[in-house]
């Protein structure tokens, strides 16, 4: 589904050039749940941003199905995000002036074949909180609204950047359950960034990044259920 | 440099957009203030200096005829410092190159060695020599308009006698700063001029040898004007005195004063609006800065900076934001003021003028700006001082939003998520939304006010020249005479002739009194129809007076009241008259009576002192030529010429005012909208970037930003139109002088124009900020916590 070859991303800050990615070759398959593991600065967020069409590589290639993301214009990248990608952020990025349902509606309004906003909220167990504003929800609830918002458009790929990073373990597990549930029931390819190695055991595949390269890659024989995870 | 100072300077750099917007608004307000007040002060100083150097008189009196020896009695009146007995006369002038006859006002000059008041300042040539017949000095305005100079020759008819006049000099006098023909609204320098002649020569021409028919007096400091006037009137009662009056009723001084005082209205209204808006813009800019710098300021406090130091830091920021605007405002105000003073000085023909912006004006203006800055900053400073460092170091809690009235009313479906974002964001900060709206509304209001001036002038002109005056020619006779109607009506080409009997009277109501010409007219004049206050045709009643609205106001009377009328000519009749009606006129102090009623009161029959003529267009020149040959005809006014002169003067002044008005109002609208957009962008860049990441296009997220501005502008427009009407009413009251009383008329095109300019300026500001949307850093947003 995704295919990257020789992916390199360099940032130039004044005199210094930093290589966030340094020749990454990665393939992602439909329906997979992949955990990208690595410490801060290992390049995992940069990789996610490039896969999500938020950033473009310095060199190398990225293909989503038959789309060449490197050759896409800004408008084409916007359309790509609009039609195919669901995002979940560490700090939720909900619009504070909209209720949970309306935040989801932000996406269903512009998607081609979305599910009803209430259904998306029900899938993450928040049907009852649909009329609450972000300020009236806990952190875990806000993140689950963000997941509902991401899956409501039935995306082909769900990209999650440290979705549990701002949450305690108990709440984090509930968020991971929502993600695993969406992956299983909707068949959405899911990429999950974390520096928490424990989370790796719920994935089909764990890719470890270090210094902008893929350091190791392992496939789990069975996916652990999120509720069994503890950290 | 201290670190905190460095921080201040860098903050300003980051805030340069709002700084420019605020600075321009401050500059606009301050420049209007400095310009108007500076010009006001300069004109007053120039006028007073000119009056002083030329010995401008304090008391003026016209009379029929008194022997020169009588002037000595006037000099004995307590409080009188100097007396100049004069001979004055109106006459008709044939000026080379001028198709219509002009009206001349001849004034005598004292013989050498005599006291001279209202001294003439010779600009070119010399004074007329006593003993040389026909030598005149011509007023500069008239001379320039007609290209006259030493050596020019004019044909005059004075008191029915023809006399060739030779121009020997050109001069100026404080008595005729504003040389305006009685009965006209604005000066027409081509057709009305003042001429000075040696007294003996003019006296001979008027049959007043050894006598005088006009006097000017100068009072000693501290002398009582009313007392002096009463004494003068007593002395001249036997000589046909028309009633002495002070400068306040001297035509030139009256108009000049009105003109100068009007500046004061301009000096106060507009700057108040601008400085109020500037205070608000500062408030918004600094509140935002404090918001974004919450953690930095808290860190400073955590390091041990005192509240006062941090507050001073914020105030310093306000000062730096306002300072460029203040300097620009002072500079532009001084520059425009010098230009305006020069324009006025040219218009009034002051031989020299000073323009200076007094320290009081600078202090007051800068003080007002400082006040605006402090008031604008107060809220932000208070927040900083109240901030507990530990709490402030934490990120600010997400804003609490609530369901709005749309949901309560079941109308939520009307707006999509984007619409709701817009409305809830506005409702979240109602005061700021309100003030932003008010700022835009004020810009609209200023535009309405600017257009309103044009509307009023259109109406006044229409009233005075189109609907009010249908005659083609009006003429004044040298002396009231019988049989005028018949002889004029028989002139070939005259379609209609209406005669008028005009006498000088003093109207009194208690302590209020006005000297005016009382016109005895046909009951329903077709050429100059009168209208009552409801706009209906007004027929002069058989009994009683009809007063123009400004005159009725000046006397404090209404229809049904009684006034005391004292005739200043002939047998000096006096008696009470009832005010039968008030006529709908906005300019001019006029009184009318039924012709027969006036004749009966005066004890005369069939006399006329002037006439109005309707003439066939094709034969106008012919009729004019015939009238010019008639020695009894004193002055002829051609309506077309009067209309052209009025339009030219007004159009020039209005064009300049309008440009400034649009420029400043646009600055205001752009300033407010730009600021609102910047604040909105700063507060919502995270939301907007999130939407971009979710797949919204640039155009779609612009809707969020510009939608808010659109709603703001739409809400502000009606308010602005209403406010504009209010400001216009205020201007009407400021601009009201004794002789003018403007109606409050605002036409739909004026409202439309104000709305269009506001929307245009807002659009411009919105588009400038929209460009920033394209530079949103999407990735940074993902990493930043709220």
Mean pLDDT of B291-302: 72
CB contacts, 8 Å: B700 with chain A: 110
Tell me which residues of chain A, numbers 72 to 131, contact chain B at a CB-CB cutoff of 8 Å. 75, 78-79, 81-83, 85, 87, 89-91, 93-99, 102-103, 105-107, 109-110, 131
Q: How confident is the model at residue A34 (pLDDT cuts 50, 70, 90)?
A: very high
CB contacts, 8 Å: A78 with chain B: 692, 695-698
Higher pLDDT, B534 or A192: A192
The bridge status of strand B211-219 relative to strand B80-86 is antiparallel
CB contacts, 8 Å: A49 with chain B: 779, 782
Could you give the angle at the alpha carbon of B615 between the alpha carbons of B611 and B619, nearest 5°? 130
- Angstroms from A222 CA to nearest CA on chain B: 32
3-class DSSP state for residue B148?
A: coil
Position B446 scores a pLDDT of 83
Position B67 scores a pLDDT of 94
Q: In this predicted model, what pLDDT tens digit does every residue of B168-184 receive, in sequence order?
A: 999 999 998 877 776 56
Q: Do A106 and B691 touch (CB under 8 A)?
A: yes
Higher pLDDT, B305 or A32: A32
Q: In this predicted model, what pLDDT tens digit does every residue of A117-129 receive, in sequence order?
A: 999 999 888 999 9
Q: In this predicted model, what pLDDT tens digit does every residue of B513-559 receive, in sequence order?
A: 888 889 998 888 888 888 888 878 888 898 899 998 888 988 999 99
Mean pLDDT of B325-336: 91
Q: DSSP string spanning B522-589?
A: -TT-SSS-EEBTTS-EEPPPSSSEEEEHHHHHHHT--TT-EEEEEE-STT--EEEEEEEEEE--SB--
Separation CA A153–CA A108 (nearest Å): 6
Question: Which of B397, B403, B690 is the closest to A93 by Cβ?
Answer: B690
> pLDDT at residue B16 above 90?
no
Position A25 scores a pLDDT of 94
Separation CA B683–CA B288 (nearest Å): 8
- Angstroms from B13 CA to nearest CA on chain A: 21
Q: Do B400 and A83 touch (CB under 8 A)?
A: no
Q: In this predicted model, what pLDDT tens digit does every residue of B80-103 receive, in sequence order?
A: 999 999 999 988 888 888 777 788
Position B563 scores a pLDDT of 94
Mean pLDDT of B591-600: 92
A205 to chain B, any CB pair closer than 8 A? The answer is no
User: Burial level of B531, CB count in 10 A (0-12/13-18/19+)?
Assistant: middle
Question: Which of A45, A54, A94 is the closest to B778 by Cβ?
Answer: A54
Position B466 scores a pLDDT of 65
Separation CA B477–CA B682 (nearest Å): 76
Position B651 scores a pLDDT of 67
> pLDDT at residue B739 above 70?
no
Q: In this predicted model, what pLDDT tens digit does every residue of B201-213 receive, in sequence order?
A: 999 988 899 999 9
Position B191 scores a pLDDT of 82
B621 to chain A, any CB pair closer than 8 A? The answer is no
CB contacts, 8 Å: B403 with chain A: 99, 131
Mean pLDDT of B578-584: 91
Position B166 scores a pLDDT of 94
- Angstroms from A180 CA to nearest CA on chain B: 21
CB contacts, 8 Å: A52 with chain B: 693
CB contacts, 8 Å: B778 with chain A: 54
Q: How confident is the model at residue B560 (pLDDT cuts 50, 70, 90)?
A: very high
Q: How confident is the model at residue A3 (pLDDT cuts 50, 70, 90)?
A: very high
| Proportion of chain B above pLDDT 70, given as a percent | 89
Of B8-12, B148-152, B649-653, minimum mean pLDDT range: B649-653
Please check whether residue A183 is in contact with residue A33, taking contact to mean a CB–CB distance below 8 angstroms: yes
Q: In this predicted model, what pLDDT tens digit does every residue of B439-465 receive, in sequence order?
A: 889 889 888 887 887 787 777 777 766
Q: DSSP string spanning B4-55?
A: HHHHHHHHHHHTHHHHHHHHHHHHHHHHHHHHHHHHHHHHHHHHHHHHHHTT
B699 to chain A, any CB pair closer than 8 A? The answer is no
Quickly count: other Cβ atoms within 10 Å of residue B3's Cβ: 8
Separation CA B63–CA B12 (nearest Å): 71
B618 to chain A, any CB pair closer than 8 A? The answer is no
- How much is the mean pLDDT over chain A? 90
CB contacts, 8 Å: A135 with chain B: 397-401
> pLDDT at residue B619 above 60?
yes
Please check whether residue B569 is in contact with residue B506, taking contact to mean a CB–CB distance below 8 angstroms: no
- How much is the mean pLDDT over chain B? 83
| Cα-trace Rg, chain A | 17
Please check whether residue B441 is in contact with residue B720, taking contact to mean a CB–CB distance below 8 angstroms: yes
Quickly count: other Cβ atoms within 10 Å of residue A228's Cβ: 9
Reading the block at residue B498, the tokens are: 């209406």
Q: Do B421 and A97 touch (CB under 8 A)?
A: yes
A134 to chain B, any CB pair closer than 8 A? The answer is yes
User: Burial level of B470, CB count in 10 A (0-12/13-18/19+)?
Assistant: middle
Mean pLDDT of B283-290: 71
Question: Which candidate in B692, B699, B782, B784 is best for mutational testing of the A interface (most A CBs within 10 A)?
Answer: B782
- Angstroms from B440 CA to nearest CA on chain A: 25
Higher pLDDT, B252 or B278: B252
- Angstroms from B695 CA to nearest CA on chain A: 4
Mean pLDDT of B51-60: 93
Position B242 scores a pLDDT of 83
> pLDDT at residue B290 above 80?
no
Question: Which candidate in A96, A138, A158 is best for mutational testing of the B interface (most B CBs within 10 A)?
Answer: A96
CB contacts, 8 Å: A106 with chain B: 417-418, 691, 694, 696
Q: How confident is the model at residue B660 (pLDDT cuts 50, 70, 90)?
A: confident
> pLDDT at residue B54 above 80?
yes
Q: In this predicted model, what pLDDT tens digit does every residue of B346-380 receive, in sequence order?
A: 877 888 888 888 898 899 888 888 888 887 778 77
Position B186 scores a pLDDT of 62
A145 to chain B, any CB pair closer than 8 A? The answer is no
Question: Which of B424, B779, B781 is the closest to A97 by Cβ?
Answer: B424
Position B491 scores a pLDDT of 87
Position B783 scores a pLDDT of 64
Residue B320's closest CA among B269, B264, B282?
B282
Separation CA B244–CA B216 (nearest Å): 9
Position B143 scores a pLDDT of 92
> pLDDT at residue B417 above 90?
no
Separation CA B675–CA B761 (nearest Å): 13
Separation CA B131–CA B197 (nearest Å): 11
Cα atoms in the Cβ-side hemisphere of radius 13 Å centred on B557: 29
């Amino acid at each position: 589904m995704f295919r990257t070859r020789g992916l390199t991303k360099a940032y130039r800050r004044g005199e210094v050039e930093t290589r966030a990615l340094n020749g990454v070759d990665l393939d992602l398959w439909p329906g997979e749940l992949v955990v990208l593991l690595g410490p801060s600065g290992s390049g995992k967020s940069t990789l996610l941003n490039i896969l999500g069409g938020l950033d473009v590589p310095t060199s190398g290639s990225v293909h989503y199905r038959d789309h060449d993301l490197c050759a896409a214009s800004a408008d084409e990248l916007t359309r790509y995000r609009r039609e195919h990608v669901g995002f979940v952020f560490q700090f939720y990025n909900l619009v504070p002036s909209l209720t949970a349902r309306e935040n989801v509606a932000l996406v269903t309004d512009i998607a081609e074949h979305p599910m009803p906003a209430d259904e998306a909220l029900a899938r993450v167990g928040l049907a009852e909180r649909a009329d609450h504003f972000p300020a009236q929800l806990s952190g875990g609830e806000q993140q689950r609204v963000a997941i509902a918002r991401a899956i409501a458009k039935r995306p082909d790929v769900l990209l999650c950047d440290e979705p549990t990073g701002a949450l305690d373990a108990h709440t984090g597990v509930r968020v991971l359950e929502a993600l695993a549930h969406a992956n299983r029931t909707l068949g959405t390819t899911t990429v999950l960034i974390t520096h928490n190695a424990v989370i790796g055991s719920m994935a089909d595949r764990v890719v470890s990044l270090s210094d902008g390269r893929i350091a190791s890659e392992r496939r789990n024989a069975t996916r652990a259920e999120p509720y069994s995870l503890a950290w | 440099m201290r670190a905190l100072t460095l921080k201040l300077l860098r903050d300003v750099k980051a805030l340069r957009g709002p700084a420019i917007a605020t600075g321009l608004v401050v500059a606009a307000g301050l420049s209007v203030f400095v310009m108007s007040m500076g010009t006001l002060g300069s004109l007053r100083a120039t006028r007073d200096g000119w009056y002083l150097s030329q010995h401008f008189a304090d008391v003026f009196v016209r009379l029929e005829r008194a022997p020169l020896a009588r002037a000595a009695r006037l000099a004995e009146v307590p409080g009188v410092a100097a007396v100049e007995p004069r001979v004055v006369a109106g006459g008709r002038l044939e000026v080379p190159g001028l198709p219509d006859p002009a009206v001349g006002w001849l004034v005598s000059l004292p013989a050498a060695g005599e006291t001279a008041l209202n001294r003439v300042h010779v600009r070119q040539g010399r004074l007329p020599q006593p003993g040389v017949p026909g030598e005149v000095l011509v007023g500069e305005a008239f001379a320039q308009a007609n290209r006259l100079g030493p050596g020019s020759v004019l044909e005059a008819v004075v008191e029915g006698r023809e006399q060739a006049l030779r121009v020997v000099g050109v001069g100026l006098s404080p008595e005729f700063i504003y040389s305006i023909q009685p009965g006209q609204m604005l000066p027409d320098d081509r057709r009305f001029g003042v001429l000075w002649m040696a007294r003996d020569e003019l006296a001979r021409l008027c049959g007043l040898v050894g006598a005088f028919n006009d006097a000017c007096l100068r009072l000693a400091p501290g002398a009582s004007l009313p007392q002096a006037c009463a004494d003068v009137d007593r002395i001249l009662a036997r000589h046909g005195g028309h009633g002495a009056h002070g400068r306040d009723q001297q035509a030139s001084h009256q108009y000049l004063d009105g003109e100068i005082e009007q500046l004061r209205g301009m000096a106060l209204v507009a700057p108040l609006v601008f400085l109020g808006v500037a205070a608000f813009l500062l408030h918004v800019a600094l509140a935002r800065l404090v918001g974004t710098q919450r953690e930095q300021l808290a860190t400073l406090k955590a390091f041990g900076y005192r509240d006062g130091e941090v507050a001073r830091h914020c105030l310093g920021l306000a000062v730096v934001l306002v300072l460029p605007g203040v300097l620009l405002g002072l500079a532009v105000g001084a520059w425009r003021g010098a230009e305006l003073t020069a324009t006025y000085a040219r218009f009034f023909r002051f031989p020299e003028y000073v323009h200076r912006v007094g320290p009081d004006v600078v202090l007051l203006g800068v003080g007002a700006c400082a006040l605006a800055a402090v008031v604008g900053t107060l809220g932000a400073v208070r927040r900083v001082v109240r901030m507990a460092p530990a709490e402030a170091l934490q990120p600010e809690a997400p804003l609490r939003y609530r369901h709005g009235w749309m949901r309560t009313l079941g109308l939520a479906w009307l707006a999509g998520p984007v619409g709701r974002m817009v409305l809830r964001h506005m409702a979240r900060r109602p005061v700021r939304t309100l003030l932003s709206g008010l700022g835009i509304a004020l810009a609209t209001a200023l535009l309405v006010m600017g257009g309103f001036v044009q509307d009023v002038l259109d109406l006044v002109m229409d009233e005075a020249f189109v609907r009010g005056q249908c005659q083609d020619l009006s003429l004044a006779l040298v002396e009231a005479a019988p049989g005028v109607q018949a002889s004029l009506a028989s002139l070939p080409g005259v379609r209609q002739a209406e005669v008028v009997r005009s006498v000088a009277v003093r109207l009194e109501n208690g302590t209020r009194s006005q000297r005016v010409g009382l016109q005895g007219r046909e009951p329903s004049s077709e050429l100059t129809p009168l209208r009552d206050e409801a706009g209906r045709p007004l027929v002069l009643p058989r009994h009683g007076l009809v007063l123009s609205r400004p005159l009725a106001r000046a006397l404090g009377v209404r229809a049904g009241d009684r006034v005391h009328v004292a005739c200043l000519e002939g047998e000096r009749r006096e008696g009470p008259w009832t005010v039968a009606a008030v006529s709908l006129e906005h300019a001019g102090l006029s009184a009318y009576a039924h012709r027969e009623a006036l004749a009966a009161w005066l004890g005369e029959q069939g006399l006329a002192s002037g006439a109005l003529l309707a003439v066939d267009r094709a034969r106008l020149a012919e009729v004019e030529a015939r009238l010019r040959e008639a020695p009894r005809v004193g002055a002829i006014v051609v309506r077309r010429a009067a209309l052209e002169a009025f339009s030219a003067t007004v159009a020039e002044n209005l064009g300049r005012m309008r440009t400034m008005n649009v420029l400043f109002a646009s600055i205001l609208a752009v300033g407010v909208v730009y600021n609102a957009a910047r604040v909105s962008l700063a507060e919502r860049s995270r939301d907007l970037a999130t939407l971009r990441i979710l797949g919204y296009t640039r155009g779609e997220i612009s809707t969020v930003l510009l939608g808010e501005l659109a709603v703001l502008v739409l809400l502000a427009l009606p308010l602005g139109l209403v406010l504009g009407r209010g400001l216009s009413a205020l201007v009407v009251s400021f601009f009201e002088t004794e002789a003018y009383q403007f109606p409050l008329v605002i036409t739909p095109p004026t409202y439309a124009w104000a709305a269009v300019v506001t929307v245009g300026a807002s659009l411009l500001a919105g588009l400038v900020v929209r460009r920033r949307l394209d530079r949103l850093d999407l990735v940074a947003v993902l990493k930043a916590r709220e």
